Amino acid sequence: MRTIKENILTPFILFFVLLIDGQLSTFLTGLFPLGWNLVSHFILIFMIFVSINLPKNYNIVLFLGLGIIYDVYYFHTVGIALILFPVLSFLVCQAGSVMLLNRGTRFLSVITAIFLFELISFAAAVILGMATVSLQIFVIYSLVPTLLLNSLILLLFQPMFEKVYL
């Protein structure tokens, strides 16, 4: 019964989290007048914990759909998250046994996933002509604040995720 609930409720929860991510990012970016671009990746944090319990094929299809929605909603194009979400989900499924070891490995896994997503998204945006910012500006004003914000989010929500998903 639990797997049926997880398989049915998880897509709706992830879609809601996807929408909350954008609102949280917009709110936090408005709070800091320094030009920081804080991006909440609660969806990737959630992915780490959800992918451990759900079947691999279901994860890939689920995050493929979420990648399309993410692309249209945030990037106004299709392709960047459409590729990155399923690939990251696959990597999480493959390394699930390692990530279950302790909080430290889960923390590093989340930071690595967010780092890869941000860096590859930036590179794709530059290649596609969607961004003209230099790498140094991106790292200082977007990547580092994003990693710090998501580290804080993970530290706050990790105990809850561990109770529900581990």
pLDDT tens digit sequence for 77-106: 778 888 988 898 888 888 777 776 788 888
On whether the CB atoms of residues 44 and 113 are closer than 8 A, the answer is yes
Name residues of the chain where pLDDT drops below 70: 1-6, 33, 100, 166
On whether the CB atoms of residues 111 and 153 are closer than 8 A, the answer is no
**What does the domain layout of the chain look like in residue ranges?**
2-165
Residue 1 confidence (pLDDT): 45
Rg (CA), the chain: 16
Closest CA to 18 of 103, 56, 75: 75
Rounded CA-CA distance 122/54 in Å is: 29
Residues making up the chain, counted from first to last: 166
pTM of the model: 0.86
For residue 35, is it left (φ>0), alpha (ψ between -120 and 50) or beta?
Answer: left
